[in-house]
Amino acid sequence: MALFEKIMAEFIDIIEWNDDSADTILWRFPRFQDEIKNGAKLTVRPSQVAVFVNEGKVADIFPPGMHTLSTQNLPVLSTLKGWKFGFDSPFKAEVYFLSTRQFTDLKWGTKNPVMMRDQDFGMVRLRAFGSYVIKVDDPKKVVEQVAGTNPVFSVEDVREQLRNIVTSRFADMLGSAKIPALDLAARYDELSAQLSKLIAAEFSQLGFATTQVLVENISLPEEVEKAIDKRSSMGAVGNLDQFTKFQAANALEAAAKNPGGGASAGLGLGVGMGMAGQLGAIGAAATAPTTSSTPPPLNAGGPPPLPQKEWWVAVSGQQNGPHDLSGLASLMVQGAINRETLAWKQGFSGWMPMTAVPELKSLFG
């Protein structure tokens, strides 16, 4: 009897799956003509389940552990086969092992920009990407609806389908949420939780569950981002008129410290005033009256002076005038102005050094 039991033991099958891959979801146990002997040992390791399939129908599902195959632990298969009092060895059945561990760092992203109406920018195009984690939730559905008769089924085989579900539901969610584009970054966690709920039902129909869904980035078009950068830069500058005055004061201070003096000092004054005129014109142009009889501030171009004495000059950082040519000559004799002094009259777009004005060249001999 002992010899007979030893011989029988040598014919008892051991059914198991040593999974050494990182992305295999399903693996079919290879058997010649799918024959399994009575009393075979089924080993199901942690993070696995074993599914028995008979003629295309899912029968029994085994959790992790060691199982001896008999009529008692194959109730569904026994019913399908018509086994009432046991079965003859061997019997035919397909055995599929499924991994129930989590498959992490699956990426999703919008192939095309999502169009939405924004209260700050009008119509904008947004792109987004993130990641998600899945696991097998219903082995029966995975075998019946996704894997089919494939001997091996991996994450790559279902990745595209799952990613399309995520991106499609994200586009619907973003369009209906009506969140301002500038506020999206502060609500990534909220959007991630909402997206996870939206895709849960469709993933469940395929036999999968999502354990984590992340929205990692939502970006505006490059041209809109550049416009935002410019707007931020203007905000950092603050009051443009005060900024130009500050720049002009720095230029005057630098000119005063110049040991060369004379023309160099005048040149420094001209540069400072020129900078003030160019930058200040931006802030003053929109509000300056077009019919005023006074000259514009020294840091801005603007309306015309009195027609009789039409020349205004910058003296000690202040506008001085109006003067005619003889008045300008007197100021030169007094040393109040020089070749690089800034001058302005009606028709000029801004302050100019006197040497750059053809009408004033006669004052310098």
The total of structural domains in the chain comes to: 3
Residue 92 shares a structural domain with residue 177:
no
Instruction: Look at residue 6 and tell me whether its pLDDT is greater than 50.
Output: no
User: pLDDT digit string (tens) for 124-148?
Assistant: 888 899 999 999 999 999 998 888 7
Task: Specify whether 67 is located in the same domain as 120.
Answer: no
Name the more confident of 352 and 210.
Answer: 210
pLDDT for the residue numbered 266: 47
Distance CA 241, CA 284 (A): 8
3-state secondary structure 299-364: CCCCCCCCCCCCEEEEECCEEEEEECHHHHHHHHHHCCCCCCCEEECCCCCCCEEHHHCHHHHHHH
Asked if 303 and 290 count as a contact pair (C-beta separation under 8 A), the reply is yes
Q: Would you say residue 358 lies in a domain?
A: yes
Is there a domain that residue 210 lies in? yes
> What end-to-end distance do the CA atoms of the chain give, in Å?
136
Provide the whole-model pTM. Answer: 0.59
Model confidence pLDDT, tens digit, residues 198-234: 999 999 999 999 999 999 999 887 877 777 777 666 6
Q: Is the peptide bond before 358 cis (omega within 30 degrees of 0)?
A: no
- 207 and 151: one domain? yes
Written as six digits, the tokens of 95 are: 């055995």
Q: In this structure, are 113 and 164 located in the same domain?
A: yes
- When pLDDT is cut at 50, 70 and 90, the band that residue 85 belongs to is low
User: What's the pLDDT score for residue 287?
Assistant: 45
Whether 154 maps to a domain, the answer reads yes
- pLDDT, mean of residues 22-26: 92
Strand 24-28 and strand 35-36: pairing? unpaired
Is residue 232 assigned to a domain?
A: no
Reported for 346-351, long-range contacts at CB under 8 A and 24+ positions apart, including other chains, are 346/304, 346/305, 346/307, 346/310, 347/304, 348/301, 349/281, 349/301, 350/274, 350/277, 350/278, 350/281, 350/300, 350/301, 351/273, 351/274, 351/277, 351/298, 351/301, 351/314
Q: What pLDDT sits at residue 279?
A: 46
Identify whether residues 32 and 62 lie together within a single domain: yes
Q: Report the C-alpha gap between 142 and 139 in whole angstroms.
A: 5
**Domain annotation covers residue 230:** no
Residue 234 lies in a domain: no
Q: What is the CATH number of the domain that holds 176?
A: 3.30.479.30
| Region for 215 from its dihedrals, namely left if φ exceeds 0, alpha if ψ lies in -120 to 50, beta otherwise | beta
Q: Are 125 and 113 in contact (CB under 8 A)?
A: yes
- Please, are residues 31 and 95 in contact by the beta-carbon 8 Å criterion? yes
Q: Where are the alpha helices (DSSP H) in 43-107?
A: 75-81
3-class secondary-structure state, position 130: strand
Question: Is there a single domain that holds both residue 251 and residue 352?
Answer: yes
215 vs 248: which has the higher pLDDT: 215
Question: Is residue 94 domain-resident?
Answer: yes
Contact 43, 29 (CB under 8 A): no
Residues 17 and 38 in one domain: yes
DSSP string of 246-290, one letter each residue: HHHHHHHHHHHT-TT-HHHHHHHHHHHHHHHHHHHHHHHTTT--S
Identify the pLDDT of residue 147.
Answer: 82
In the prediction, which pLDDT does 330 show? 84
C-alpha to C-alpha distances, 301 to 24, 267, 278, 314, 347, nearest whole angstrom? 74, 20, 8, 13, 10
Query: What's the whole-number average pLDDT of the chain?
Result: 79
Mean pLDDT computed over 78-84: 72
Rounded to an integer, what distance in angstroms lies between the CA atom of residue 183 and that of residue 187? 7
Q: Would you say residue 18 has pLDDT above 70? A: yes
Asked whether residue 36 is domain-assigned, the answer is yes
Of 35-39, 197-201, 232-236, the poorest mean pLDDT is in 232-236
Tell me: do 89 and 37 sit in the same domain.
yes
Model confidence at 300: pLDDT above 80: no
With cut-offs at 50, 70 and 90, classify the pLDDT of residue 236.
low
DSSP 91: E
Q: Which domain holds residue 32?
A: 2-99
Count Cβ neighbours within 10 Å for each residue of 232-247 and write b for 16 or more, e otherwise: eeeeeeeeebebbbeb
User: Domain check: are 114 and 218 in the same one?
Assistant: yes
Q: Specify the DSSP element, H or E, that contains 134.
A: strand 122-136
Are 271 and 180 members of one domain? no
Task: Answer yes or no: is pLDDT of 298 > 90.
Answer: no
